[in-house]
């Protein structure tokens, strides 16, 4: 799967994509992640990408020209991308949306910044706006990294054990069940006997019950949208 990220601060994304699972997936050719500097499409000599808003007000707004030029050039490369604007006004990212985005062969992520982008970018260029939560970041770079990680780990082969993604929190509308590892006793705290029993059906039932319990305690709102009462 291919990700193109359009930003004025490409250095912010060097770390997240050069470590751990994403790095290995890139090395194996499972993920193609390309970070592009928006200023490359801005007019010389100043390569300006923003300007003051019409009507006055604080802050700066991304100009339409470099964004349109960048997206139109990148979209000329096959496969054609699904163009996403990272914005606090967008659809909130969740596991269902991550799986939906997995169905796109290629994502082009535009990192907003300052007071946002010229409205004509929203109206005539992007396919979808996405937010990672009801809060404001300084820019869309961190949100882009979150989307790449959330979607990328769902690509077949990226995770060593495919069942890991299937068992993650939110995969079935519930939070994840508790996990334990060695030692069986730590400072007097013990691992539940069920997990030591070796009976897989009983263990699975325990995990399901604990997932519902954790969801009811921490995120009861999720139970309203799932079949797990």
Given 53, 64, 88, 178, which residue is catalytic? 88
The residues with which 37 forms a beta bridge, in sequence order, are 7
Contact 95, 171 (CB under 8 A): yes
How far is the C-alpha of 48 from the C-alpha of 38, rounded, in Å? 10
Is 156 one of the annotated active-site residues of the chain? no
Is 81 one of the annotated active-site residues of the chain? no
Is 104 one of the annotated active-site residues of the chain? no
Q: Mutual orientation of helices 141-152 and 95-102 as an angle, nearest 10°?
A: 70
Distances (CA, A) of 11 to 7, 29, 40, 46: 9, 22, 15, 20
Given 94, 129, 149, 168, which residue is catalytic? 168
Strands (E), the chain: 2-7, 32-37, 50-51, 61-62, 82-92, 106-111, 128-131, 185-186, 189-190
Given 65, 94, 115, 210, which residue is catalytic? 115
Is 88 one of the annotated active-site residues of the chain? yes
Residue numbers annotated as active site: 88, 115, 153, 168
């Amino acid at each position: 799967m291919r990700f193109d990220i359009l930003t004025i601060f490409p250095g912010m994304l060097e770390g997240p994509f050069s470590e751990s699972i994403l790095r290995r997936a890139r090395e194996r050719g499972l993920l193609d992640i390309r970070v592009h500097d928006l200023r490359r499409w801005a007019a010389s000599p100043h390569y300006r990408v923003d300007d003051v808003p019409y009507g006055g007000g604080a802050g700066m707004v991304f100009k339409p020209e470099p964004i349109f030029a960048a997206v139109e050039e990148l979209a000329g490369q096959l496969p054609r991308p699904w163009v996403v604007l990272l914005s606090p006004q967008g659809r909130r990212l969740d596991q269902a949306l991550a799986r939906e985005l997995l169905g796109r062969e290629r994502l082009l992520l535009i990192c907003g910044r300052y007071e946002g982008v010229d409205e004509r970018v929203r109206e005539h260029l992007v396919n979808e706006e996405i937010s990672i939560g009801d809060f404001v970041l300084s820019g869309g770079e961190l949100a882009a990294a979150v989307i790449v990680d959330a979607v990328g780990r769902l690509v077949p082969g990226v995770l060593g054990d495919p069942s890991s993604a299937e068992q993650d929190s939110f995969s079935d509308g519930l939070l994840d069940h508790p996990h334990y590892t060695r030692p069986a006793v730590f400072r007097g705290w013990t691992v539940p006997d069920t997990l030591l029993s070796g009976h897989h059906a009983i263990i699975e039932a325990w995990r399901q019950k604990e997932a519902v319990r954790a969801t009811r305690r921490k995120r009861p709102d999720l139970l309203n949208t799932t079949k797990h009462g």
